[in-house]
Chains A and B, each alone.
Chain A
Amino acid sequence: MGNEGQEIKGTGFINRMGATRYLVSRAPQALIVAGPGNAKFDLAGAGDRPQHFYIWNSLGLAPSVGLGLALAQPKQQVIVLDGDGGTLMNPGALVTIARLAPFNLLHIVWDNGEYQLTGGQPTATATVTDLAAMGRGAGLQHVAAVTTMTEFEVGLETWLTEPGPWLAVVRIDKSPAPARPPKDPVWIKLRFMETVNK
């Protein structure tokens, strides 16, 4: 996917809230780890559930948490929702996921080319950096990049059924994320663990 100089504001890119709702409807049993920023806000907006683990800070660690969970629970589908800012904070997670290669991990990166929560400062993906290419360079064997909702819907069927780990870089628009998840970290964790270990 070439991002060079693309103007993405107001164009037909994917809406994160719509895509999150669709994802939850297609994978209702999956354990979902959502990174800080709008990934976790829109996951809450899709409807708060015990299967969601919301990371309130720790930019960059969502895929690492997903990796540990996927290794510990190989019979369960684990999905990570993160942003371009989180991915750029900890690109080493792509390397470690490629090395351990848990087949039950789907890592979705919502890429809007900006740090949306802090005022829309551009990230490197707005101009020079290609996260899907970084994933392939890290050694990931299953990498997808999509820019339309139809591509996302078709791709998701593959990502959820064919063994991974999958990295899906999803070009999204700049819609805000008004919903908020629960705020007590211990409560979020205990509720999540009860579901995981049921």
Chain B
Amino acid sequence: MMWTDIVFERLKANCLEMVCHVPDSVLAPLITRAEADPFFTVIPLTREEEGVGVLTGAYMGGRLGCLMMQVSGLGNSVNGLASLAIPYQIPFLMLISQRGELGEFNAAQIAMGRAARPLLDALDIQHFTLRRVDEVATLTDGAIKTAYTARRPVALFLSTEMVGWKKEG
């Protein structure tokens, strides 16, 4: 199975029905599959921070979800995480496509990519990184479980070691 098949299956198994996203080429196959499956409510955002609000409202209404985005979107979401999700104790999964690390061609992706984990550490938001396909199911299930136990968002990074990088030079 591809990593996308496993994540898709784990999102369903854990009842993460609300899929908020700003498109990303790595996440695109997952988003397309979710759109085709009536189990999911797919919410395309204009900016990732909106997703923190939408998932807060959905959680209070009894529905769970995840926020899919490129790592730049984490930068766009910081105040929403710090002022809403953390103080009000709102759990959800952030599935983050990593840029700025192994194989990056775009200089403008480096700083945000490198800042992502220290930033999450500063907010005390736990994060895990998917590096091998055989770990995807365990880490996805575990991250979701921890989010609901901690009543906080948890981040799951998709590393370029696992998903590859753009071939641009």
Contact = CB atoms under 8 A, between A and B. Distances in A.
Interface of A: 33, 53, 55-58, 60-73, 90, 92-93, 95-96, 99-100, 185-186, 188-189, 192-193, 196-197
B62 A65 contact: no
Interface in B27-61: 41, 43-47, 49-61
Contacts of B47: 90, 92
B79 A58 contact: yes
Contacts of A197: 61-62
Contacts of A72: 18, 57-63
Contact of B60 (A53, A56, A57): A53
Q: Sort A-B residue pairs by CB-CB distance and give the 4 closest, nearest first.
A: A64-B53, A68-B57, A72-B61, A92-B46
A196 B53 contact: no
A71 B88 contact: no
Contact of A100 (B43, B56, B83): B43
Contacts of B50: 61, 64, 90, 92-93, 96
B58 A189 contact: no
Given A58-B79, A68-B57, 5 more contacts: A64-B53, A92-B45, A93-B50, A96-B44, A96-B54
Question: Which one of A65, A69, A71, A92 has the highest number of Cβ atoms from chain B below 10 Å of its Cβ?
Answer: A65
Interface of A is mostly: helix
Nearest to B55: A68
Contacts of B57: 33, 64-72
B73 interface: no
B54 A65 contact: yes
Interface of B: 18, 41, 43-47, 49-63, 79-80, 83-84, 87-90
B148 to A, nearest CB: 14
B58 A185 contact: no
Contacts of B87: 56-57, 185-186
B18 A71 contact: yes
Contact of B46 (A33, A96, A186): A96
B80 A71 contact: no
A137 B59 CA distance: 29
A1 B79 CA distance: 32
Contact of A196 (B44, B62, B83): B62
Nearest to A63: B53
Contacts of A66: 57
Nearest to B89: A186
Contacts of B53: 58, 61-65, 67-68, 93
Nearest to B58: A68
Nearest to B84: A58
A189 B60 CA distance: 7
Given A90-B49, A188-B88, A196 B60 contact: yes
Nearest to B52: A61
Contacts of A58: 53, 79-80, 83-84
A65 B56 contact: yes
Nearest to A61: B53
A189 B84 CA distance: 11
Given A68-B53, A72-B18, A72-B61, A61 B80 contact: yes
